[in-house]
Chain A
């Protein structure tokens, strides 16, 4: 009896330790930092390191708590920040929609192939995702430049008289985002389509549905979970994207990820950057919670 109890207790301690290790890591390096960002967003910028005032100060026996809401008031009323948030949301929404138009037929096409060639095609979708994003964005720079390949080609074909300005415009940002995030959209849709029950489509066809209406009435509605997963996987990170707007976009298109970067490195106003980050998180809370609940439902 007692040996059973001790081994049970031992297993319990082992379990606790097992849970505690990843838990502690993520608490310290993932969750607690967010609390810090929230705290520092209420601080005041100062010279020195760290470049912000502490929130609390002892005045004799009195503990003073100074919460400065000026950063938030500024972020929420300043036109440049408001515009940056709206531009980021707009660019993310439009590029997510455009990506869906390219990714869905591709995923559908792959799912319609024989299983033996499917795995090769999926592998080919994954390769660009594994290769450096910076490099892939850079490759578009040399294509889209005024003296780049696309303009050279169009000039040679006589389609245009003088080079088009594409690099450093919003169009270039769209191209870059759609290109970079495409695999994230294709893979969830593909995995949904490839595990779909094909007898349902056969049944619809047997009952007189045309190929096209069978697709819209059976295949597409059933693939919506994959579509939504892909959209969430793309939309949320794109809103905060830095590299693509920085390298492909122009000075007139400000996205919020780049605004945070500039606030940090150029203005060195950390409390302001923290406030901008908190507002960004507030905008993304709904899609993130949706994504998480979906993912964990799928996994259980």
Chain B
């Protein structure tokens, strides 16, 4: 595997064409003046204007962003604790169960988690709305955050922390002042991953919400059910833009800190 052969190049080309063609189509047609998908009616930003003046969409976006920000923060904090527990504490009773609970949501069909959390909230008598969506999102994004943080924590050189401890630093303080700063890129990407997963979720939100609170995907979903409209292309392009910007920013943050680490 020294040099990519023509076969390698071809499969890369085909793979990326498949991955990106639908997205490119979506973005292009968000600027289509015509309402029909097959007719190009000239360049227009009218669908963006329609979206931004649609109070229902704006309301949904507010709910979604609030839920995503709070649940991503909670998931990152809980995920950091879970990652520390799993990486640093090798032996304790119930470790296997915790590990199982941290891994299962990654593959569990969303519908299964959605049904079970709804029944939990109903049983506990918690009013369903933004709060229950946030609790549910924190739970299902927690495992993704933990995986990201865990893999970084494993790579971390333990000798630095050992040195701090040898110099009389208590272990928790050694962790906070030595290990934690090195985990900032992982923390940022764990937060961003949780945020986008929460922002994207339809199934779990639909089950765990109550009357009145609808997230952006729920609004988009009900619009799609009515039929394809160029408005949705515009919303989609806005969301894509935000996600790509966030990703590029995260990539730059981790690059820079890696360079810093390699210099130090």
Residues of chain A touching chain B, judged by Cβ–Cβ distance below 8 Å, are 7, 11, 14-15, 18-19, 21-23, 25-34, 36-37, 40, 49-50, 102-103, 105-106, 108-113, 121, 123-128, 130-136, 138-143, 145, 147-149, 152, 179, 182-183, 186, 198, 201, 232-233, 236-237, 239-243, 247, 257, 260-261, 264-265, 270, 273-274, 277, 280-281, 284, 287-288, 291-292, 295-296, 299
Give Cα A287–Cα B104 distance, bound, in whole angstroms: 11
Shortest A189–chain B CB gap in Å is 12
Q: Is B139 an interface residue (CB 8 A)?
A: yes
Show 29 A/B contacts (Cβ-Cβ < 8 Å), sorted by A.
Answer: A14-B172, A15-B89, A19-B92, A22-B85, A30-B105, A33-B116, A33-B120, A36-B123, A37-B119, A102-B18, A109-B10, A110-B12, A112-B8, A124-B19, A125-B19, A134-B217, A135-B240, A136-B23, A142-B233, A183-B19, A232-B107, A240-B110, A242-B111, A264-B115, A274-B119, A277-B115, A281-B112, A288-B107, A292-B104
Give Cα A132–Cα B215 distance, bound, in whole angstroms: 13
Give Cα A66–Cα B112 distance, bound, in whole angstroms: 24
Q: Which residues of A are found within 8 Å of B105, using beta-carbon distances?
A: 30
Are B22 and A139 interface neighbours, CB within 8 A? yes
Give Cα A281–Cα B109 distance, bound, in whole angstroms: 9
Are A30 and B139 interface neighbours, CB within 8 A? yes
The SS class assigned to the A binding surface is helix
Q: Which residues of A are found within 8 Å of B104, using beta-carbon distances?
A: 30, 288, 292
Instruction: Map CB proximity to A onto B231-242 as digits: 1 under 8 Å, 0 otherwise.
Output: 011001001100
Q: Which residues of B are found within 8 Å of A22, using beta-carbon distances?
A: 78-79, 81-82, 85, 98, 102, 142
Given A36-B120, A109-B8, does the pair A26, B25 have CB atoms closer than 8 Å? no
Residues of chain B touching chain A, judged by Cβ–Cβ distance below 8 Å, are 1, 3-5, 7-12, 14-16, 18-20, 22-23, 25-26, 29, 36-38, 78-79, 81-82, 84-86, 89, 92, 94, 96, 98-113, 115-117, 119-120, 122-123, 135-136, 138-139, 142, 150, 154, 170-172, 193, 196, 199-200, 202-203, 206-207, 217, 220-221, 224, 228, 232-233, 236, 239-240, 243-244, 247, 251
| For the complex of A and B, 5 pairs with smallest distance between CB atoms | A240-B109, A105-B11, A106-B15, A33-B116, A109-B8
Shortest B75–chain A CB gap in Å is 10
Give Cα A105–Cα B102 distance, bound, in whole angstroms: 31
Shortest A260–chain B CB gap in Å is 5
Give Cα A240–Cα B236 distance, bound, in whole angstroms: 25
Q: Which residues of A are found within 8 Å of B232, using beta-carbon distances?
A: 138
Give Cα A36–Cα B115 distance, bound, in whole angstroms: 10
Q: Which residues of B are found within 8 Å of A132, using beta-carbon distances?
A: 199-200, 217, 236, 239-240, 243
Are A237 and B108 interface neighbours, CB within 8 A? yes
Give Cα A241–Cα B256 distance, bound, in whole angstroms: 39
- Assuming A14-B172, A135-B220, A141-B224, what are 19 further A-B pairs, CB within 8 angstroms? A25-B142, A26-B102, A30-B105, A30-B139, A40-B119, A105-B15, A106-B16, A112-B5, A112-B8, A123-B251, A133-B200, A134-B224, A140-B22, A143-B22, A147-B36, A239-B109, A240-B110, A264-B207, A288-B107
Are B202 and A243 interface neighbours, CB within 8 A? yes
Shortest A48–chain B CB gap in Å is 12
Are A148 and B37 interface neighbours, CB within 8 A? yes
Given A139-B22, A182-B19, A299-B150, does the pair A130, B247 have CB atoms closer than 8 Å? yes
